[in-house]
Structure formats: structure tokens, C-alpha cells
Structure 1
């Protein structure tokens, strides 16, 4: 599932082989699995001109990235007023939104996709820059 916020990004970036921040320029939704809930598959492209690499190296030839997540499902409602079932809205990758992408061994497959606002992205870049320079003050 698409995660949100700098805390989630700072949790997953150090565990990744490759990590970067960039805006999504194209999302193509693929076929969903027939499980319950379904697993949705996407092919995502990022803006290489605005990309900030945090770990590893992203080559210009790395254009299409695969991403999958649990899809929309139905869960029991927990509110006593509205007993029954309700649909769960799952955040999906969105064009022109800013994300941190974390990858491991497979350099085409995104393990964690974390939506950020510009302030969170700037804070992450500043924190990681301080750590790489040997300065641990925050």
C-alpha cells in the first residue's frame, strides 16, 4: 500500500538498496489478481530530471518500475451506528505527486512507495545529507 509521510520514508530508506525521491510522470495500471482482497499491479515512471537519489544509483535506462499492492477490499464496519460492511479506500500511485521509492535486489520492482509533500522531501534530503557528512545534529 502507498505509505505517507517522512517518518515512513526514513524508516524504509536505510533498509533499501536503491532509494530516490521524484514525481510520478506516468502510471499504467495492470491486471489485478483474483484474490480477496485483490492485488493491483502498476507500471510507474518518474521524472528523472527532478529525481533525488538517496541510496544506490538510478541509471537513465531505469524507466519503468513495477509496483504492486493490495487492492480495494471490503471489511466489516467497526462503527456501531453503521453496522455491516464498508469498502476500504486504498491510496494509489498518482501522476504529479511526489514519492520516495525504495527498491531492493530487483532494480525494477518498488518495494515501498511513500507519498511526500515538498517540505517532507526537503527535510529528508537535509537529514540524509547531515548523516552522510558525519554530522548527527538534527
Structure 2
């Protein structure tokens, strides 16, 4: 599932082989699995002009990244207002949004995708002492 916020990002970055911040420029949804809940597959492309490497190395040839997450499914409702079952809402990768992508051994497979805002991106870069020549644009 797409995570949110700089705290989640700062938790996952040290555990990753490669981590970077960038805006998603293209989201292609693939075929979902036939499990319950289904696993949704995506191919993501990021803006390399504004990409900031946080850990490891990202090459210009690294264009398409694979990402998968559990999709919407039916969950038990625990709140008295919603008796029975209801559909779960799952955030999905969105074109134009800013993310931290964390990868491990497979340099094409994103393990964690964390949505952040521009201010959180600046703070993450400062906390990790990453030097940069340009700012991430809104």
C-alpha cells in the first residue's frame, strides 16, 4: 500500500539499497491477481530531472519501475455504524504526485512507495544531509 509522510520515509530509507525522491510522470496499471484481496500491479516512471537520490545510485537507464500492492477488497466492518462488510479503500500511485521510492536487490521493483509533499521532501534531504543543486519543484 502507498504509505504517507516523512516519518514513514525516514523509517524505510535506511533499510533500502536504493532510495530516491521524485514525481511520478506516468502510471500504467497492469493486470490484477485473482486473489481476495487482489494484488494490483503498476509500472511507474519518475521525473529524472528532479530526481534526488537518497541512498544507493539511480542511473538514467532506470526508467520503468514495477510496483505492486494489495488492492481493494472486502473487509469486516468493526464500527457499529458499518455493520457487516464493506469495501476497503486503498491509495494508488498517482501521476504528478511526489514520492519516496525504496528498492532493495531488484533495481526495478519498488518495495515501498511513500507519498510526501514538497516540504517533507526538503526536510528528508536535510535530515539525510544530501547536498543538492536544485530544489524539487511543486
Would you say same fold, with TM above 0.5? yes
Deviations for 1:61-95, whole angstroms, at most 9, x for unmatched residues?
A: 00000000000011111111221111111000000
- Unpaired segments of 5 or more residues in structure 1? 131-138
Query: Partner residue of 1:87?
Result: 87
Query: Partner residue of 1:70?
Result: 70
Shift in Å at residue 16 of structure 1? 0.5
Q: Are residues 1:129 and 2:106 paired? A: no
Cα distance in structure 2, aligned partners of 1:63 and 1:50:
14
Cα distance in structure 2, aligned partners of 1:79 and 1:100:
33
Query: Partner residue of 1:100?
Result: 100
Q: What does 1:100-119 align with in structure 2 at a 5 Å threshold?
A: 100-119=100-119
Count, aligned residues: 130
Deviations for 1:30-84, whole angstroms, at most 9, x for unmatched residues?
A: 0000011000000000000000000011000000000000000111111112211
RMSD: 0.8
Cα distance in structure 1, aligned partners of 2:117 and 2:62:
24
Query: Partner residue of 1:18?
Result: 18
59-68 vs 73-82, greater mean Cα deviation? 73-82
- Unpaired segments of 5 or more residues in structure 2? 131-138
Runs of 4+ in structure 1 over 3 Å off: none
Looking at secondary structure, tell me which structure has more helix per residue.
1
